Amino acid sequence: MRTAPKIEVTPQDLKILTRRSKSRTEPKQAIERAQIILLCYEGKSVQEIAKTMHTYPNKVIEWRNRYMAEGIKGLLDKPRSGKPIEYIGLREKVLSKLSLPPPKGYGRWDAPLLSKELNCSPDAVWRILKKDEISLVRQRSWCISTDKEFVPKAADIIGLYLHPPLNAIVICVDEKPSIQALERKTGYIQTSDGKTQRAYQSTYKRNGTLNLFAALEVATGKITTKSTKYKTREDFIEYMDEVVGEYQEDQEIHVILDNYSTHKKNEIWLSNHPNVQFHFTPTSASWLNQVEIWFGIFSRKSLVGASFRSTEELREQIEAYVNNYNKECKPFKWRKREVRGSQIKNNIENLRN
């Protein structure tokens, strides 16, 4: 076993090193280096010191040599060089590139592409993106309604949410079409980094589809659903008969719908139900319908990662989830943050100013 060469430590240095090795306020690196020198002074081997300090032998040799050459000063960090010249002004260059279209053949910018264009390391680009909280992967969509009557239609629906007519029922209705009964193996796997996560087989079997009608009672959050094979006008009318049939014939009911064709031209049905009034969201603004929020929750909690051997299993899954959901349902506190297409460029420009 290699032994460390005998090093000379002056009484003054010995006091400093001893005090530093036992300090609770000195930086961790300074304490570690002092302890290494003291162990070398005691004549311990390099391997023994490395094992005691839970470090590498080369590290022990480096600090021993530094102390032997420079004394206590050798245990201090050496001044580091400044930023490489190519990184000066890199933030402005990155933001400037993000304001421009990516090279031909690419759909968006990413760190490796930016680093190649700017002749710097991807890590340098990532640090800038992280500091400015810019994500090049996460996306949000926006939809601008061109409905000329957007304001009065939106105000009508929001008014029903916030201040419904006295003793009236407000219901949001829509359908989720073509829900596939996919059959595939699912389970858990352990990845190479030791983490356990959900997994599913890439191949699957299609066992048919179902259409799901859903009605959300705004005041309570209760959900009423019906699974059908199709989503024809007849299916919609039959479903609406079931929904309004749950209330008294003279109960005032306001139904919020999007502009799907089967929701329109139902004057005969409405004339037979004078207590029911339809309210249509503006075009390209179905997000005003609160039942869309529930569809998102339902998809994440009941469909994603599930396997169905038949449409009947899918139907049973839907019914079971709705029953459990209604046991603890609560009304939504509806809100929608506005997103505009111009925000993407403007946000980058604001960072540059």
Q: State mean pLDDT over 33-38.
A: 92
- Determine which helix (DSSP H) or strand (DSSP E) holds 38, and give its type and residue range: helix 28-41
Q: Over the stretch 304-347, which tens digit does the pLDDT of each residue have?
A: 888 899 999 999 999 999 999 999 999 998 665 554 545 555 56
Helix, coil or strand: residue 190: strand
Look up residue 139 and give its two tokens. 């996306």
| pLDDT tens per residue across span 146-157 | 888 889 999 999
Cross-strand pairs, 210: 179
Please provide the average confidence, as pLDDT, over all residues in the chain: 87
Counting residues of the chain whose pLDDT is more than 90, the rounded percentage is 57
Q: Are 86 and 119 within 8 A, CB to CB?
A: yes
Dihedral sign for Cα 130, 136, 140, 144, please: positive
CB atoms inside a 10 Å sphere around CB 295: 17
**Paired tokens of 348:** 């980058």
For residue 209, list its beta bridge partners.
180
Distance between CA atoms of residues 101 and 95, nearest Å: 12
CA 348 to chain centroid: 21
Please tell me whether residue 198 adopts helix, strand or coil conformation: strand
pTM over 0.75: no
Among residues of the chain, what percentage have pLDDT more than 70? 91
Ordered by start, the domain boundaries in the chain are 11-75, 85-131, 150-327
What CA–CA distance (Å, rounded) separates 180 from 209? 4
CATH, range 150-327: 3.30.420.10
